[in-house]
Amino acid sequence: MSKLNILLLGSGGRESALAWKISQSPRTARLFIAPGNGGTDAYGTNVALSPLDFDAIKAFVAENKIDMIVVGNEDPLVAGIYDYFASDPVLVVGPSKAGAALEGSKDFAKQFMVRHNIPTARYESFTAANIEDGYRFLETLRPPYVLKADGLAAGKGVLIIDNLDEAKKSLAEMLGGMFGASSTTVVIEEFLSGIECSVFVLTDGEGGYRILPVAKDYKRIGEGDTGLNTGGMGAVSPVPFADKEFMDKVEQRIVLPTIKGLKEEGIIYRGFIFLGLINVGGEPMVIEYNVRMGDPETEVVMPRIASDIVDLLEGAAKGNLADIPAEHDPRTAVTVMAVSGGYPGSYPKGLEITGELAPAESILFHAGTRRDSDGRLLTSGGRVIAATSYGENIADALAKSYKAVEAINFDGKYFRRDIGRDLMK
Ligand code: AMP
Ligand code: GLY
């Protein structure tokens, strides 16, 4: 059995869960996390490198004999990290820059779906040059109106507006630079009504793929899905409505045409595809593609992968994923995110975190945490720590996660108490 030195890029709860899983593999020799957080050092060695500083990463890879780079967040992928290392022997798990455009440009993603007959909301794209056409397109749609900045906008680039005049005004504002260069092009699409879920696929660019456990995340800050959007307040896996019949449709109508489409178009893609789906009366439709794992979905998906993740990641990077099993753990997993008071608005940082940091019945995945020079654990972000638990069902797993979140202390701690409630009806 060959062992690999692995460099994982990123610093959130997602990377904590990936590091946790990678560190359990007998195939991992050394694991480095760049830059990591106050919890990832339990699974490997944190290194102070920016995931966007490719030259520094290259030097680190050479110095530490890294065999495989696993990219957690989208920014390095959209900036072309796969292509940067294309002629280097190190394996990179992720899409090429051309593939990362599935997340980096919503207009590209929509065109790709139309080309390959993948079910998604009807849409058109506009720039300042044809804003009048945009107004006319809005007039053909029924409210609410969905306006999306074409480029990456840190999860903030989507507006859903009830009133036609306001939608027109927002279109003008977006094209006028509301999200900077990200909204130079705006996608306007039909509103779809249904319940969302996240499907994750690992693919090797050669037609081999594995569908990972399906999850649902909770994006809004407030209970009952109210208030501002956040990076994600909790997640559940599996998702009861994503049953065999639904997942068969997802595989046939979305996963296979996506993989085939990438290949046909000559787009190199050896990494995770995140399908943001909506269930419209039993029919899956694509809301968005992302080119990485989800956060906090990863905090429930990794615990539900029973197979060796390093085998799977290596299979994706080398092009032989069809030979590698991806068994799912039958248990339910939930995660509840403890966040800083004030988040997703402004919030304090540097508050000491105390309490039970090694609970018996849950796994704590650190997100916005860091250690000071005395080893004290401090908050360093909006989303602070996710508590993941297994259970026989959602309620059982949730009871453990709530207990774990309650046992952590920092000033202003907040969490939602209704994670998974919509799935338990
Ligand atoms: P996105 O960044 O594309 O995932 O959009 C953010 C959120 O906006 C999604 O998670 C959905 O809740 C919502 N959304 C986006 N597009 C639509 C749509 N066509 N119909 C209904 N809701 C949407
Ligand atoms: N949980 C949604 C995302 O990672 O984009």
Q: Does domain 4-96 have CATH number 3.40.50.20?
A: yes
Q: Which two tokens stand for residue 77?
A: 């992928």
CB-ligand 2 contact for 232 (6 Å cutoff): yes
Q: Which two tokens stand for residue 162?
A: 């009830």
Which residues make beta-bridge pairs with 276? 198, 288
Could you read off the pLDDT tens digit of each residue along the chain, which spans 425 residues?
799 999 999 999 999 999 999 999 999 999 999 999 999 999 999 999 999 999 999 999 999 999 999 999 999 999 999 999 999 999 999 999 999 999 989 999 999 999 999 999 999 999 998 999 999 999 999 999 999 999 988 777 899 999 999 999 999 999 998 888 898 999 999 999 999 999 999 999 999 999 999 999 999 999 999 998 899 999 999 999 999 999 999 999 999 999 999 999 999 999 999 999 999 999 999 999 999 999 999 999 999 999 999 999 999 999 999 999 999 999 999 999 999 999 999 999 999 999 999 999 999 999 999 999 999 999 999 999 999 999 999 999 999 999 999 999 999 999 999 999 999 87
- What's the CATH architecture for 122-189? 2-Layer Sandwich (3.30)
- Ligand 2 pocket test, pick from 75, 225, 290, 302 with the greatest ligand atom count within 8 Å of Cβ, gives 290
pLDDT in the model for residue 1: 79
CB-ligand 1 contact for 188 (6 Å cutoff): no
Return all residues near 27 (Cβ < 8 A) that are at least 6 apart.
1, 2, 3, 4, 308, 310, 311, 314
CB-ligand 2 contact for 359 (6 Å cutoff): no
- CA 14–ligand 2 middle distance (angstroms): 10
CB-ligand 1 contact for 35 (6 Å cutoff): no
Where do the domains of the chain lie? 4-96, 122-189, 192-330, 331-425
- CA 45–ligand 1 middle distance (angstroms): 37
H-type alpha helices, 45-119: 54-63, 74-78, 81-84, 97-104, 106-115
H-type alpha helices, 141-250: 164-173, 244-250
* Superfamily, domain 331-425: Phosphoribosylglycinamide synthetase, C-terminal domain (3.90.600.10)
SS (H, E, C) 306-362: CCCHHHHHHHHHHCCHHHCCCCECCCEEEEEEEECCCCCCCCCCCCECEECCCCCCC
Cα(47)–Cα(40) distance, rounded to whole angstroms? 10
Classify 192-330 by CATH class. Answer: alpha beta
Cα(214)–Cα(247) distance, rounded to whole angstroms? 9
Ligand 1 atom nearest 191 alpha carbon? 20
- Ligand 2 pocket test, pick from 214, 274, 275, 337 with the greatest ligand atom count within 8 Å of Cβ, gives 274
Please name the residue whose Cα sits nearest to atom 5 of ligand 2: 294
Q: In what order do the strands lie in the sheet with 332-339?
A: 216-217, 234-237, 332-339, 383-391, 363-366
- CA 294–ligand 2 middle distance (angstroms): 4
278 neighbors 242 (Cβ within 8 angstroms): no
223 neighbors 206 (Cβ within 8 angstroms): no
Q: Which two tokens stand for residue 212?
A: 């990972």
pLDDT in the model for residue 177: 87
CB-ligand 1 contact for 280 (6 Å cutoff): no
Q: Which residues of 24-48 are buried (b: 16+ CB within 10 A; e: fewer)?
A: ebebbeebbbbbbbbbbeebbebee
Q: Tell me how crowded residue 406 is: count the other CB atoms within 10 A of its CB.
A: 15
CB-ligand 2 contact for 74 (6 Å cutoff): no
- CA 356–ligand 1 middle distance (angstroms): 37
State the angle between helix axes of 97-104 and 106-115 in degrees (0 to 180), rounded to the nearest 10: 100
- CA 278–ligand 1 middle distance (angstroms): 9
pLDDT in the model for residue 181: 87
CB-ligand 2 contact for 340 (6 Å cutoff): no
174 neighbors 147 (Cβ within 8 angstroms): yes
Return all residues near 41 (Cβ < 8 A) that are at least 6 apart.
33, 371
pLDDT in the model for residue 156: 79
List Cα–Cα distances, 39 to 36, 370, 384, in angstroms: 8, 8, 10
Cα(401)–Cα(407) distance, rounded to whole angstroms? 10
pLDDT in the model for residue 114: 97
- CA 231–ligand 2 middle distance (angstroms): 6
Ligand closest to Cα of 74 equals 2
Q: What is the CA radius of gyration of the chain?
A: 21
